[in-house]
Amino acid sequence: MLRDAPSHYSTFDVICCAPPALTFTPNPNHPMEATFDNKTNVLNARIRTHDNSVIYTLRTSFGYRGRKDTVLWDENPPAGAGAAAVAGAIHWQEKSLEVGGHRKSCKELKRCAGRFYNRTRHWRWASDRKEYEVVYEREEWKATLDHNMCIAGRFAVPFRPHLFSKSPPPMVHLTKRALDEDEVFLILVFIYCEARRQDRTNSSRLDASGEVV
């Protein structure tokens, strides 16, 4: 974790060894719960806590080949680091992630297990860190530990339009266990996975001539 600022975080339950029904309830362990203020573009958004304080800002640059870099700016850096500091980044064209100034390829960070129809994806920043199984279901990404028995984080992306109410904003939850080592890494993984999912969804809506179907 890049800083020690408990006031940045609201409260939700730290669930470990949970049953399949996964819910979060208030708990005094001070994990992170924050929303993205851009409902339609998580690559260019401010991440805010329950009191509307900005803790991170995401900015994405583009080149002639499309997305270039998505930079995660820490809006509350340590003293002497300036108004904002780079916490991490996604380098799209290189297919790499950067955390704390260290850059690694996604091939190095991710492994797949299982067969084609039952394949699972696992992410780990380093060999001495925890490995997270990352899955998407019901408009939400989940990062779990211990063979899917323990939740480390969630990233809700409810972009589906609602007829009679506004869609809630994207929201990221990280347990205290995840915050201790992999706060920035998991945020980047969630954003990377969601952007790739949206890319695949958008491309599937095009017919052979490139028109939306």
Strand blocks (E) in 22-169: 32-36, 45-48, 54-63, 66-74, 85-91, 96-99, 102-105, 110-113, 120-123, 132-136, 140-145, 150-156
Can you give the pLDDT at residue 118? 78
pLDDT higher than 80, residue 184: yes
Amino acid letter for position 89:
A
Per-residue pLDDT reduced to its tens digit, 76-129: 887 766 677 999 999 999 999 999 999 999 999 999 988 777 789 999 999 999
* pLDDT tens by residue, 13-48: 333 433 333 333 444 444 899 999 998 899 999 999
Residues 6+ apart with CB under 8 A from 147: 133
In this predicted structure, what is the pLDDT of residue 163? Answer: 57
Give the whole-angstrom CA distance, residue 193 versus residue 156.
12
Classify residue 182 as left (phi > 0), alpha (psi -120 to 50) or beta: alpha
pLDDT of residue 69: 98
pLDDT at 161 exceeding the cut of 90: no
**Confidence band for 164, pLDDT divided at 50, 70 and 90:** low
pLDDT at 4: 43
**Better-predicted residue by pLDDT, 33 or 148:** 33
Single pTM value for the model? 0.79
Predicted pLDDT of residue 47:
98
pLDDT at position 177: 87
- pLDDT of res. 132: 97
User: Would you list the domain boundaries of the chain?
Assistant: 6-16+25-203
Question: Which residue in the block uniquely carries the two structure tokens 């019901």?
Answer: 138
Between residues 168 and 83, which one has the greater pLDDT? 168
